[in-house]
Copies of this chain bind each other. A is one copy, B any other.
């Protein structure tokens, strides 16, 4: 039995970063509608003050706050109605002491006024004066120029996820494009003599390939663009030719299957022959996911990954390494893991990090995490699971009720 030097997840991650550097690559400018769900590739300062002028936040009367001192429900202060400001227009009048002007929500505050009293706290006497029944502090009922975001200040930070509100803020600032990282190109080669495409009808001993569908979906969800998906028989020459072709069109080439030590596992041999410096990681101290290979080809700047053939293992390794890599290079935070308590004792896998799928059950005060078990090679395990927990390689296991962090799929 051949003994392998296996890496921890942390060691494997460090090797990935050493290949690809700490940068997300060159940024491109994407229109807002195509930037949703992507990561800002640079800090984006506001080109001007937001808002650009002093705006009312209520329907009401712009006043000099000092004039309302002492006013109350039973003791209104009467102010001369000097006019009104229309929406979307500059304020052409000025409010002097003893005066007020009608301003709808969002309208410009006329010069001289420093507060807005809501119409609900006013009485229009109908004789050109307004009774104000509230005492106001300067600044109430309005928002100052730059109060939302000052010119030159960071509207978005590098690494932030572009959600609907980020798109809205960019629109407010007149920025219709945003710097994002172009997705890295990725090729998927499923290896195995037993594999046929999903649309085929399997003969004896054959199965439909899961990985090229599942890993492609996972890749696209995590910032990669899948440029090639192929099924390759377990023959060294064919695999060599396929990898050679994939390297030309991809930043990352992912093979699933063939990364073990069996007679027909050619991935290691192919990586060693095609890539320089070649294989950097010969296996992971991870269960499931041990038969994982990482190689780097300096000349073409291509990352080569050999993942286990079992779909569950392949998806876990992809998630822990390639999804992590994409996020880390873009300086994006990990999606919030969910705190839960484990609902039963759970043995670990000493010497290996155990990746355990769990189902989440909501209770009054939090979540219970139920372990979801399934033999290797079963895909429905992951359908029944909401996420996974990691049990440290130095832990013998978890005790029922112990606190865990659940990483959602």
Contacts and interface: CB of A to CB of B under 8 A. Distances in A.
Contact of A195 (B88, B108, B192, B378): B88
Interface stretch (A12-20, A167-175, A296-304): A167-175
B379 A59 contact: no
Given A260-B105, A262-B104, A198 B214 contact: no
Q: Determine how many copies of this chain the complex contains.
A: 2
A152 interface: no
Contacts of A176: 198-199
Given A87-B264, A167-B214, A379 B105 contact: no
A362 B405 CA distance: 11
A169 B57 contact: no
A380 interface: yes
A95 interface: no
B379 A91 contact: no
A312 to B, nearest CB: 8
A286 interface: no
Q: Which of A175, A208, A366 has the most CB of B within 10 A?
A: A208
A101 to B, nearest CB: 13
A245 interface: no
Interface residues of A, number: 103
Interface stretch (A22-30, A46-54, A65-73, A246-254): A46-54
Contacts of A86: 193, 205
B174 A336 contact: no
A78 interface: no
A276 interface: no
A375 B205 contact: no
B171 A214 contact: yes
Given A87-B192, A108-B204, 17 more contacts: A1-B120, A32-B198, A53-B204, A57-B377, A105-B262, A105-B309, A105-B310, A107-B194, A107-B205, A108-B205, A148-B380, A168-B211, A168-B217, A169-B210, A169-B380, A173-B208, A338-B339
27 contacts: A50-B380, A57-B376, A59-B262, A86-B193, A86-B205, A87-B192, A87-B194, A88-B193, A88-B205, A105-B262, A106-B309, A108-B204, A143-B378, A147-B378, A148-B380, A149-B380, A164-B315, A165-B214, A165-B382, A165-B409, A168-B210, A170-B213, A172-B198, A173-B208, A174-B200, A336-B360, A338-B339
Interface of A: 1, 32-33, 36, 50-53, 55, 57, 59, 85-91, 104-108, 119-120, 143, 147-149, 155-156, 160, 163-176, 192-195, 198-218, 220-221, 234, 260, 262-264, 309-311, 315, 336, 338-339, 360, 362, 365-367, 374-380, 382-383, 386, 403, 408-409
